[in-house]
Amino acid sequence: MSLLVGEPILGLEQIQRAMLAQLARTVNPALEQIQAWMGPSDEQIAAALGQEYEPTLLEPILPQNFVEGHRPSLIDAPITNYPNLAVWAVRASATPESEVFDQLSVNSILVYIEVMVKSIASEEEVNRRLQRTVEAINIAAMSDTTLGGVVTGFDGDPLVELADLFTRKERTAYGPEWFWQGARLEYAVRKEAVIPSSSAGSFFRTAQFDIDQA
């Protein structure tokens, strides 16, 4: 594995891909854990409201539904594209440390994780699925805060925002009506870059950008 920490690049795309790869490995196991953990709570709230208990099953995210970048087209995507998860490295901004060290650039990289889930059953089910999928994503993202060595760490906890629920027919204009809802998690990660001298030759310490964990 090649570490980006010492490379003289912003690393937006590499960080984006490292986060996506980490989530692809860990989100679905985290979904299973959240589903099991929330089962007793579902039973308790059903009893408190005098309702019949029905378990909330969380749908796994298929490999082809982990995607890179901003994907507004997913709003009108086929039903087989849900649930989906997109990772987008949005912005790099210098931190105060960059002005302290002559040959070291320290950037804070803003990374969005956007997720959309569905339910044909009810508004309640799509809400629960979204809340719990968000929890699973955060568990997966925080499972390795260096993203396999690509960054030096996360700056604090995420900012999380859930979007309004909406309805849409299965094939946009016709078919069964489904409930849909999305959320965004925003993480700030730290990337350190060595500033090379003019006589350094190749800027890179290595030619490889492998995001797989060793």
Long-range contacts of 34-38 (CB under 8 A, 24+ apart): 34/58, 34/132, 34/133, 34/135, 34/136, 34/139, 35/132, 38/128, 38/132
Q: What is the pLDDT of residue 107?
A: 77
The DSSP element (H or E) to which 35 belongs, if any, is helix 12-48
pTM: 0.83
Helix pair 12-48, 123-141: axis angle to 10 deg:
130
Q: What is the pLDDT of residue 138?
A: 98
Q: What is the pLDDT of residue 152?
A: 87
Block means of pLDDT (10 residues each) for the chain, 214 residues, are 54 92 98 96 95 94 93 76 94 61 70 95 95 98 93 92 88 78 95 61 51 45
Close Cβ partners of 59 (under 8 Å, ≥ 6 residues apart): 82, 83, 117, 118, 129
- Report domain extents, the chain: 12-194
Q: What is the pLDDT of residue 122?
A: 92
The distance of Cα 74 from the centroid of its chain, to the nearest Å, equals: 15
The answer to whether residues 211 and 28 touch, using CB atoms and an 8 Å cutoff, is no
